[in-house]
Amino acid sequence: MSTEQDKILEEVTKGEYKYGFYTDIEMDTLPKGLSEDVVREISKRKGEPEFMTEFRLEAYRNWLKMKTPEWAHLNIPEIDFQDIIYYAAPKSKPKLDSMDDVDPELKATFDKLGIPLEEQKQLAGVAVDAVMDSVSVKTTFKETLAEKGIIFCSISEAIREYPDLVKQYLGSVVPPNDNYFAALNSAVFSDGSFVYIPKGVRSPVELSTYFRINAMNTGQFERTLIVAEDDSYVSYLEGCTAPQRDENQLHAAIVEIVAMERAEVKYSTVQNWYPGDKNGKGGIYNFVTKRGLCKGDYSKISWTQVETGSAITWKYPSCVMMGDHSTGEFYSVALTNNHQQADTGTKMIHLGKNTKSLVVSKGISAGKSQNSYRGLVKVSKRAENARNFSQCDSLLLGDKCGAHTFPYLEINNNTAKVEHEATTSKIGEDQIFYCNQRGIDTEDAVGLIVNGYVKEVINKLPMEFAVEAQKLLEISLEGSVG
Amino acid sequence: MENLIKNIIGKDISLVELFEENRSKIEEQSFSVLNDQREEAFDAFQELGIPSNKVESYKYTNLQPLFTGDFTFSLKPETLTENVEDIFSCDVDTLDSITIYMVNGWYYTRNNPGDLPQGVRIGSLARLAEEDPDFLARYYGSRAPHLSDGVVALNTMFAQDGFFVHVPEGVVVEKPIQIVNILMSEDALMTTQRNLVVMEDNSEARIMVCDHTLTTNKFVMNSVTEGFVGKEARLDFYNLQNQHNATTQVAGLYFEQHERSHLATNNLTLHAGVARNNIELKLAGEHAEGHAYGLYLLDKNQHVDNFSYIDHAVPECFSDELFKGVLDDHSTGSFTGKIMVRPDAQKTNAYQSNNNLLLTNDAKMNTRPQLEIYADDVKCSHGATVGQLDEDAMFYLRTRGINKEESTILLMYAFAYEVIEKIKVEPLREQIRALVEKRFRGELDKCHSCVVCGQKGTDLSCL
C-alpha cells in the first residue's frame, strides 16, 4: 500500500516544466554590471524626470551599504550582481494600432501560456497589460478604464505622464532602503504597472498583468504601484511564467499598494517562474517585496498567492493596517518540488484601532524541496482591539522534503486577540483508504486531497485565475492530479 | 566576603580579560575534566560574546547590558559563618524531601542529604571532578552548546562547581530531591553554576530546583544543567524561580533522552528580574517521551524569556509542550518553541502550545512557535494565543452572581491551573496552587517571606 502510494507520489511529483520555450525577439540591452552610470543610463533611456534619477541613485547608494539577508531558511548561492544585465527592452517598434501589429512570436508566446490577448479580453473581460522583459508591449481596455478615470499603464508611462502621483506614492510603502533587494529594485527597476483608482470608482474589470522573463541573463526588476482612493475597489491579477533556462535568473520585484478610506484592493498572484530541473539546476531566484498600506479607515487589502515556481522564493506580502477598522488578509498556497526552496509568509502590522487580519497559508512540499512559512503579527501599543487569526498548514509528499514554520507574534496591547495555529502532516493512509474504498484510485485520491487542502485559498482567486492556478498545481504535481 | 576576587566588569575589565587574569588560579583549584574544555569555550566566547538581541535566538532578550556593570565575580566558594538551614527554611512543610543547598552557585559544604537509596549520589560537581573524573568526563560538555551559545561558553570557561545527581540503574528515589539555590552577597554579584544529572537505565527520580535571592543586591546567575536520561528512566525536573527584580538569571537545561525514557521539565517563574530559560530536549532514543511545561506570572518590569528546543533525532518519539503566562504592569514575556524533526525521524508526534494573558496595556508578549520538519510521516502542531480573558466565560460567571473581580481571579486561576496540574509532587503542586491564587488576589505583591522557602530572622525584602 505504502510503496504503491510512494510510486504514485513519485510519478505525480516529477513532472517537467511545460512552459519552457524561448521567444526570439531582438533585444536592446545594456552591458552586464551595475554602477552609478548604469543607473543613470537606465533612467536616461527611459526618459525619466530628474526626481526619478535621484530616487534611483539614492537607492543605489543605500544598496551598496547593505548586505544580502541571510536570516531566511534558504540556501542561496552567492549572486554576482555584476554579472547581470540590468536593462533589456524589446527594440522599439512603431506604435501598434491593433492586435495584428503585435509581434507574431510574442503573440504565440502568450497563446502557449493560455492567454490569447484577443479572445481573453473579450471573453473574460480582463484588461491585460502584457509585460515582456520589462517593457509594456500592449495595453488593452485602456479606453474603457479611462472613461472611469482609472489609470492603468506601465510605470514608465506613469512616470512620464503622471509624475505628481508617482512622486507622491512611489516608495511611500516600501522605502528605497527597506531591504537589500528592495534597494536594488528601486535603483534599477525597468518597468511594471501603475494603477490609480479615483474616488468612489469600482474597477469594472479585473486588471491583469503578465510578466515574463525572456532574455538570457536578465534580471527582472518589476515595480508595481497601486493607489486606491476613497471608496474605490480594484482587483489586480499578476501572473508569471518564465521559459526554461539553465542559468539562474534573478527576479527582485516590488509591489506597493496604498488603500485610502473605505477602499479595497485585492491582489492575486500566480507565480510559476521556472523552478529549475529535477536536479536543482537553473531556475529563477524570486526575491520580492510586497507591501500594502491600509492608510484610510475601513480600508482593506487582500493578498492571494499561489506559488508554484522559482528555484528560490523569498517573499512576504504584508499589510500595514494604519487606518482604524482596516483589514488585512493573506491567503497563500506555496508548492515546492524537486530542489525548490521557498521562504514565504506575511507580516501583519496592526497600528490602527479595531484592525483585523487573517492569515491562511498552505504549504505543500514534495521531492527534496524545503518550504518555510515565516510570518509576523505585530500589534502596536495603540492598536486597540486588534484581532488576528493565522493558520499555517503544511503537507509533506515524500520523506526527503522539509516543511517549516517560523511565526513571530509581537503583542504590545492587551486588548489584542491573536491566535496562531499550525499543523504539519502527510496525506493520511486512512484518507486514501477511504477514497479507495469508494472506488477512487490512489492517484485520484492524492489529487482530490491536495485540491481539497488548498481549496480555501484557491476559492479566493478570481475565476479565471482559479482555473489557471489549479492548472499550475497540476503541472507542478504532474497532470494526473486534480 | 573577602573570598571573592574583586573585579569590576564593565569598561575597566571585560569578561575575557577577567578570565585571562584568573585563569591559572581557576585551573589550579579546579580539576582537569573541567579545565580541559576551558580553552575551547574561551575561543568560542571571544567570537560569540554575550548574546545581544541581534542574535536570532536571543532576539527578545538582550543580555549584553545585563552582563555589564559593577559586579564582583564569584571565583571561590563561600565560607559562611552561619548555617544556611538557620537562615532559610522551606515553606513546603508537608514535603518530605532530600534537600541540599547551593550558595551563589557553590555547593554548600555542610549539606547533608541524609540516607540515600543504594548507589545514589547527590553532591558537588567539583568533588565529582576530583573523585570520579572518568564518570564526569563521559557526560561533561557533551550536551550544552558551549561552542555556539555565548552564555554557555562563558559558563564553561568559569565552571567550577554546581550540583550533581546520579541515580544508578534500576534505582527509584522515592523522596523528591530538592535543590535550593541561594544567592546572597554584600555586593552585586555575577556567578556561574554548572550542574549534572545522570539517570541510568530504569531509574526514577523527581528533582526540584528552587532559586532564591536572600539579599537585595544585583545578581547575575549563569547556570547550565546537563541531564542524561537512560533507557526507560523517568525524571521530573521542576525549576521554581523566585528571585527579586534585580536578578538576571540565565538557566540552561540541556537534556538527552534514550529509548522509552520519560522526562518532564517544568519552569515555574513566580518572580524574577530577567529570566531566560533555555530548555533543550534531545530525543535520542526511540519511543522517548519529552514534556516541557512552563508557567510565568509577571508584573512590574519583569521579563521572562522561555526558549525551548525539542530535537526529534530519531523516529517514534513524542513531545508535548505547554507554556502559559499572565503578564501584568510593564512586564514583558517571550516564548520560542522550536520543534525540530530530523530527516528519518518518522512517526514523530510533537505538540506545542503557548497561551498568554495580557492584563495591562503596557505588558508585552512576543511568541515564536516554530516547526522545522524534515520527515513526512509526522504529526506536529503548534498553537499560540495572546489575548484577554474570554468574554463569554466572564459573562457566564457574572450571570451566576459572581462579581467581576472574583470572576477574573477564577478565570485567571483556571488559566494557570492547566500547567499547575502537571506538577506531580503533590505538596509542591498544592503550594504552587495556593501561591498562584494569592498572587492573583493581589495578596502577594512582592515575594515577602520569599514565597516558598521562607526567610527566617531577617527583615530583608526581596525588592
Question: Average pLDDT of chain B?
Answer: 86
Classify residue B13 by burial, with Cβ atoms within 10 Å: 0-12, 13-18, 19+: middle
Q: Which helix (H) or strand (E) holds B35?
A: helix B32-35
pLDDT at B435: 82
Per the CB < 8 Å rule, is B385 touching A418? yes
Interface check for A382 against chain B (CB to CB < 8 A): the answer is no
Q: Mean pLDDT: which of A5-9, A476-480, B229-233 is highest?
A: B229-233
Q: How far apart are CA A135 and CA A130, in angstroms?
A: 9
CB contact under 8 Å between B381 and A381, yes or no, is no
Q: Which has the minimum average pLDDT: A214-228, A395-409, B105-119, B138-152?
A: A214-228
Q: Tell me which of B138 and A449 has the higher pLDDT.
A: B138
For B149-185, the pLDDT digits (tens) are 999 999 999 999 999 999 999 999 999 999 999 888 8
At B453 the pLDDT is 39
Q: How confident is the model at residue B6 (pLDDT cuts 50, 70, 90)?
A: very low
| Residue A480 pLDDT greater than 70, yes or no | no
pLDDT at B10: 44
Query: In the predicted model, is pLDDT for residue B321 greater than 90?
Result: yes
Q: What is the mean pLDDT of residues A214-243?
A: 75
Question: Rounded distance, CA A228 to CA A208, Å?
Answer: 16
* CB-nearest partner of B384 from A401, A413, A420: A420
pLDDT tens for B223-232 read 999 999 999 9
The answer to whether A10 faces chain B, any CB pair under 8 Å, is no
A74 contact B CB<8A: no
* Interior angle at CA A272, CA A270 and CA A278, nearest 5: 150
Identify from B370, B392, B394 which residue to disrupt to test chain A contact, counting A C-beta atoms within 10 A and taking the largest count.
B370
Q: Would you state the pLDDT for residue A353?
A: 94
How many CB pairs below 8 A link A and B?
115
B360 inside 8 A of chain A by CB: yes
At A15, is the pLDDT very low, low, confident or very high (cuts 50, 70, 90)? low
**In the structure grid, which three cell numbers stand for residue A356, read together?**
483585523
**Are B73 and B4 a contacting pair, CB within 8 Å?**
yes
Average pLDDT estimate for A100-123: 50
Contact call for B387 and A405, based on CB within 8 A: no
A183 touches chain B (CB under 8 A): no
Question: Closest to A414 (Cβ–Cβ): which among B346, B361, B379?
Answer: B361
Residue B403: predicted pLDDT: 92
Instruction: Work out whether strand B177-183 and strand A126-132 pair parallel, antiparallel, or are unpaired.
Output: unpaired
Instruction: Tell whether the model's pLDDT for residue A446 goes beyond 60.
Output: yes
A339-388 pLDDT, tens per residue?
889 999 999 999 999 999 999 999 988 888 899 999 999 999 999 999 99
Query: What pLDDT is recorded for position B402?
Result: 92
Residue A118 has pLDDT above 60, yes or no: no
Please state, in angstroms and rounded to a whole number, the distance separating the CA atoms of residues B435 and B422: 16
Q: Look at B338 and B8; give whichever has higher pLDDT.
A: B338
Question: What pLDDT score does B214 carry?
Answer: 84
User: How distant, in Å, are the alpha carbons of A47, A50, A194, A430 from that of A160?
Assistant: 8, 11, 12, 61
The whole-angstrom distance between B334's CA and the closest CA on chain A is 9
pLDDT for the residue B446: 44
From residue A182, give the alpha-carbon distance in Å to each of A48, A187, A220, A253, A367: 20, 9, 13, 7, 31
Is the per-residue pLDDT at A415 higher than 70? yes
Query: Using CB atoms, which residue from A407, A420, A426 is nearest to B376?
Result: A426
Q: Which residues pair with A406 in a beta bridge?
A: A374
B188 touches chain A (CB under 8 A): no
> Residue A417 is nearest to which of B360, B384, B387, comparing CB atoms?
B387
> For chain A, what is the mean pLDDT?
79
pLDDT of residue B5: 41
| Residues of A with Cβ-Cβ distance to B352 under 8 angstroms | none
Q: What's the confidence (pLDDT) of residue A449?
A: 83
| Residue A391 with chain B: CB contacts under 8 Å | none
User: Mind listing the pLDDT tens digit for each residue in B16-25?
Assistant: 888 888 899 8
The reply to whether B215 touches chain A by the CB within 8 Å rule is: no
pLDDT by residue (tens digit) across A130-169?
Answer: 555 444 444 556 677 788 898 888 888 888 889 999 999 9
Q: Which pLDDT score is estimated for A92?
A: 45
Per DSSP, chain A holds a count of helices (H) and strands (E) of: 12, 24
Give the pLDDT score at A323: 94
Q: Say if B349 is an interface residue toward chain A (CB within 8 Å).
A: no
DSSP letter string, B107-155: E-TT-------TT-EEEEHHHHHHH-HHHHHHHTTSSS-TTT-HHHHHH
User: CB-CB: which of A414, A418, A423 is closest to B381?
Assistant: A423
Residue of A nearest to B337 (CA): A406
Residue B448: pLDDT band (50, 70, 90) is very low
d(CA B190, CA B71): 6
- Nearest-angstrom CA–CA distance, A160 and A142: 17
pLDDT at A110: 53
Contact status of B310 with chain A (Cβ, < 8 Å): no
* Shortest distance, CA A424 to any CA of chain B (angstroms): 5
Mean pLDDT of A273-279: 78
> What distances in angstroms separate CA B439 from CA B208, B243, B325, B328, B412, one per listed residue?
21, 15, 13, 11, 11
Average pLDDT value for residue range B127-155: 93
Please choose, from the candidates A270, A268, A263, A253, the residue with its C-alpha nearest in 3D space to the C-alpha of residue A293. A263
Nearest to A330, CA basis, from A416, A268, A288, A263: A268
Q: CA of B55: which chain A residue's CA is closest?
A: A71
Q: Is A68 on the interface with B (CB under 8 A)?
A: no
- Single-letter residue type at B268: L
DSSP string, B184-244: --SS-EEEEEEEEEEE-TT-EEEEEEEEEE-SSS-EEEEEEEEEEE-TT-EEEEEEEEE--
The percent of residues above 70 in pLDDT, for chain A, comes to: 76
Lowest mean pLDDT among A40-49, A211-220, A275-284: A211-220
Nearest to B367 among A403, A409, A415 (CB): A409
Percentage, residues of chain B above pLDDT 90: 54
**pLDDT value at B91 more than 90:** no
Mean pLDDT of B59-74: 86
Which chain A residues contact residue B386 at CB under 8 A?
A: 409, 411, 416-418
Choose, out of A404, A415, A424, A450, the residue to mutate when testing the contact with B (most B CBs < 10 Å).
A424
Domain boundaries, chain A: 2-476
Closest residue in B to A364 (Cα–Cα): B376
DSSP state of A220: B
Nearest of B171, B183, B179, B228 to residue B207 by alpha carbon = B179
| ipTM of this predicted structure | 0.76
Asked if A422 and B369 come within 8 Å (Cβ–Cβ), the reply is: yes
CA B378 to chain A, closest CA, distance in angstroms equals 6
Determine the residue among B57, B328, B386 to mutate to test chain A binding: the one whose Cβ has the most chain A Cβ atoms within 10 Å.
B386
What is the per-residue pLDDT for A21? 52
Residues of B in contact with A71 (CB under 8 A): 56
Residues B334, B363: contact at Cβ < 8 Å?
Answer: no
| Minimal Cβ distance to B386: which of A398, A409, A423 | A409
DSSP notation for B187-201: S-EEEEEEEEEEE-T
pLDDT tens digits along A20-77: 555 555 556 777 788 888 888 888 888 888 899 999 999 999 999 988 888 888 888 8
